[in-house]
Amino acid sequence: MSSATVAAAVLPNRRLAGTSPRSRAWGRFKRHRLAMFGSGVILVLVFAVIFGPMILPFDPLHIDLRHRFAPPPGNGHLFGTDQLGRDLLVRLLMAGRISLTIGFMAMVVSTLIGTSVGVTAGYYGGLVGTVLMRIVDAVLCFPSVFLLLALAAFIKPSILTITLIIAATGWMEVARVVQAQIKALRHRDFILAAEMLGASGRYVMTRELLPNAAGPIIVAATLTVARAILAEAYVSFLGYGIQAPTASWGNMLNNAQQYLNSAPWLAIFPGLMITLAVTSFNFIGDGLRDALDARMDLT
Amino acid sequence: MSIMALTPPPIPRDGPLLRVDRLRQWFSSGGFMSPRLTVRAVEDVTFEIGRGEILGLVGESGSGKSTLGRAVLRVTDLTDGRVVFDGQDVSTLSKRQLRPLRARMQMIFQDPFASLNPRMTVGQIVGAPLRIQNPGISRSEVEARVGDALRTVGLADSHAERYPHEFSGGQRQRIGIARAFVLAPDFLVADEPVSALDVSIQAQVVNLLMEIKRKLDLTILFISHDLAVVGHVCDRVAVMYLGRIVEIADTRTLFRNPRHPYTEALFSAVPVADPSRRRQRILLKGDLPSPLAPPSGCAFRTRCRYAIPACAEAVPPLAHIGGGHQKACIRDDLALQPAC
Chain B CB contacts of A14 under 8 Å are none
How much is the pLDDT for A261? 83
Interchain proximity B117–A190, CB inside 8 Å: yes
Does the beta-carbon distance from B118 to A196 stay under 8 Å? no
Nearest to A52 by CA among A79, A81, A19, A89: A89
Show residues of chain A in contact with B110, CB under 8 Å: 189
pLDDT band, residue A156 (cuts 50/70/90): confident
Q: What is the pLDDT of residue B34?
A: 66
As beta bridge partners, residue B25 has B42
* Rounded distance between C-alpha atoms, residue B50 and residue B311, angstroms: 32
Helix A265-291 crosses helix A21-30 at what angle (to 10 degrees)? Answer: 130
Instruction: State the pLDDT confidence band at A211, using cuts at 50, 70 and 90.
Output: confident
Q: In Å, what is the CA distance from A171 to each residue of A158, A216, A249? A: 20, 14, 23
Rg (C-alpha) for chain B, rounded Å, is 22
Nearest of B288, B226, B290, B236 to residue B262 by alpha carbon: B288
Is the Cβ pair A196, B107 closer than 8 Å? yes
- pLDDT (0 to 100) of residue B267: 86
Please tell me the predicted confidence (pLDDT) of residue B225.
84
Query: In 3D, which of B258, B269, B240 has the Cα closest to residue B337?
Result: B258
pLDDT at B324: 85
User: How confident is the model over A183-196, as a mean pLDDT?
Assistant: 89
Nearest CA in chain A to B122: A20
Which helix (H) or strand (E) is A118 found in, with range? helix A88-124
Inter-CA distances, B58 with B184, B226, B246, B262, Å: 26, 8, 10, 11
Helix (H/G/I), strand (E/B), else coil: A25: helix
Contact B163 A214 (CB under 8 A): no
Q: Which pLDDT tens digits describe chain B residue by residue (340 residues)?
A: 444 444 444 454 677 899 999 999 988 876 556 677 888 889 899 999 999 999 999 988 888 899 999 999 998 889 999 999 998 899 888 888 898 899 999 999 988 888 999 888 999 999 999 999 888 889 999 999 999 999 999 998 889 988 888 898 889 999 999 999 999 999 999 999 888 888 888 988 999 999 999 988 999 999 998 888 899 899 999 999 999 999 999 999 999 899 999 998 888 877 766 767 666 777 777 777 887 888 888 989 888 888 888 888 889 989 898 888 999 998 888 777 777 6
Residue A299 pLDDT > 70 = no
Q: Which member of B109, B117, B163 has the closest CB to residue A208?
A: B117
**Backbone angles phi and psi of B6, in degrees to 5:** -80, -30
Q: Answer for the pair A55, A38: CB distance below 8 angstroms, yes or no.
A: no
Helix (H, G, I), strand (E, B) or coil at B27: strand
Dist. CA A233–CA A95, nearest whole Å: 11
At B119 the pLDDT is 86
Distance, in Å, from the CA atom of B5 to the CA atom of A294, rounded to the nearest integer, reads 62
Peptide bond into A245 cis (omega under 30): yes
Q: Which residue of B has its CA nearest to A189?
A: B115
Contact B187, B90 (CB under 8 A): no
**How would residue A123 be classed by pLDDT, with cut points 50, 70 and 90?**
very high
Return the bridge partners of B223, or none. Answer: B57, B191
What's A206's DSSP letter? I
DSSP structure class, residue A77: B
> Between vectors from CA B182 to CA B179 and to CA B185, what angle results, nearest 5°?
105
Query: What pLDDT is stored for residue A266 in this prediction?
Result: 83
Weakest-pLDDT range from A12-21, A247-256, B156-165? A12-21
Distance (Å, rounded) from C-alpha A273 to C-alpha A49? 11
Q: At CA A233, angle to CA A231 and CA A235, rounded to 5?
A: 70
Contact check, Cβ <8 Å, B75/A192: yes
Alpha-helix residue ranges (DSSP H) falling in chain B = 3-6, 65-72, 95-102, 122-133, 139-152, 169-181, 199-216, 227-233, 251-256, 261-268
Round to whole Å and give the CA distance between B10 and B139.
33
Lowest mean pLDDT among A122-136, A141-155, B171-185, B266-280: B266-280
Q: How far is CA A90 from CA A61, A67, B107, B241, in A?
A: 9, 15, 64, 78
A-interface mutation test, from B75, B117, B126, most A Cβ less than 10 A away: B117
Per CB-CB distance under 8 Å, the chain A contacts of B118 are 21, 212, 297-299
CA distance B27 to chain A (A): 14
Cβ contacts (< 8 Å) between A297 and chain B: which residues?
118-119, 165
Residues linked to residue B56 through DSSP beta bridges, in sequence order: B222, B237
Strand order across the B88-89 sheet? B37-49, B18-29, B80-85, B88-89
Phi, psi of B311 (to 5 degrees): -65, -25
Give the largest CA-CA distance in chain B: 74
ipTM above 0.90, yes or no: no
Burial class, B11, CB count within 10 angstroms (exposed 0-12 / middle 13-18 / buried 19+): exposed
**B40 to chain A nearest CA, in Å?**
20
Contact B256, B262 (CB under 8 A): no
- Partners of B129 on chain A (C-beta within 8 Å) are 197
Yes or no: say if B172 and B116 are a contact pair by the CB < 8 Å rule: yes
Nearest C-alpha in A relative to B99:
A198
Q: Considering only residues 11 to 50 of chain A, which have any Cβ-Cβ distance to chain B shorter than 8 Å? A: 15-16, 19-21
**CB-CB contact of B215 with B293 (8 Å):** no
Chain B residues within 8 angstroms (CB to CB) of chain A: 70, 73, 75, 95, 98-100, 102-103, 105-107, 109-111, 113-120, 128-129, 132-133, 162-163, 165-166, 176, 179
The candidate with the shortest Cα–Cα distance to B179, out of B159, B197, B195, B200, is B159
DSSP-based three-state secondary structure for B189: strand
Q: Does A137 touch chain B (CB under 8 A)?
A: no
What is the Cα–Cα distance from B21 to A35, expressed in whole angstroms?
A: 60
- Average pLDDT score over chain A: 83
Contact A101, A114 (CB under 8 A): no
Query: What are the contacts of A231-234 at 24+ separation with CB within 8 A?
Result: A231/A106, A231/A144, A231/A148, A231/A166, A231/A169, A231/A170, A232/A98, A232/A99, A232/A102, A232/A103, A232/A106, A232/A162, A232/A166, A233/A99, A233/A274, A234/A145, A234/A148
Are A196 and B73 within 8 A, CB to CB? Answer: yes
**Separation of alpha carbons B238 and A51, rounded Å:** 75
B163 to A190: CB separation less than 8 angstroms, yes or no: no
d(CA B58, CA B231): 10
pLDDT at A298 over 50: no
- 3-class DSSP assignment, residue A276: helix
